[in-house]
Amino acid sequence: SDVQRTLVLVKPDGVARGNVGEVLRRIEAKGYTLVALELRQADEALLAEHYAEHAGKPFVRPLIEFMSSGPLVAAVVEGQRVVEGFRSLAGATDPTTAAPGTIRGDLARDWGAQVIENVVHGSDSPQSAAREIALWFPAL
Ligand code: DAT
Ligand code: MG
């Protein structure tokens, strides 16, 4: 078996638009397990660390401002191959091309902002998941 954990964030756009329940519903409907769940206001230091791979890119400043613009929901989700599985539930980064049926395809749209607002984050590899879970939930 290949039971994994992944970090899921319902981003501030998703919280503000009332998408928390819908995102959690899809995670539970898929059969994944919630290991940790918290509403929180992320500070810029945490977000800079979270998005360290994007340091220096033109969208990183707007990205950190967006991600700290309001409360978000942070969760650790567990299941068989959940890292890839949640990325599949989330859909493509760009809300315009994300497939219908995915969280981003169904719930996100392009607002023409400097940063893409796309409702959810999911870790992109088991290595990223371990790093991100340690960052957001150091007690786990
Ligand atoms: P993902 O969240 O699908 O893993 P990513 O890690 O490449 O995508 O980027 C992190 C977030 O930054 C992404 O969810 C939305 C935003 N973003 C990515 N590329 C962007 C771009 N070219 N312009 C504006 N925002 C972007
Ligand atoms: Mg990413």
**Per-residue model confidence as pLDDT tens digits over 79-137:** 999 999 999 999 999 999 999 999 999 999 999 999 999 999 999 999 999 999 999 99
DSSP-assigned letters across all residues of the chain? --EEEEEEEE-HHHHHTT-HHHHHHHHHHTT-EEEEEEEE---HHHHHHHTGGGTTSTTHHHHHHHHTSS-EEEEEEEEETHHHHHHHHH--SSTTTSPBTBHHHHH------SS---SEEE-SSHHHHHHHHHHH-TT-
Look at residue 86 in the predicted model and tell me its pLDDT: 99
Residue nearest to atom 15 of ligand 1 (CA): 116
Average pLDDT over the chain, rounded to an integer: 98
> ipTM of this predicted complex?
0.99
Quick one: pLDDT band at residue 48, thresholds 50, 70, 90?
A: very high
Look at residue 64 in the predicted model and tell me its pLDDT: 98
Look at residue 60 in the predicted model and tell me its pLDDT: 98
Name the residue of 65, 69, 93 whose CB sits within 8 Å of the most ligand 1 atoms, as the mutation to test its pocket: 93
Residues with CB under 6 A from ligand 1: 59, 63, 93, 115-116, 118, 121, 124
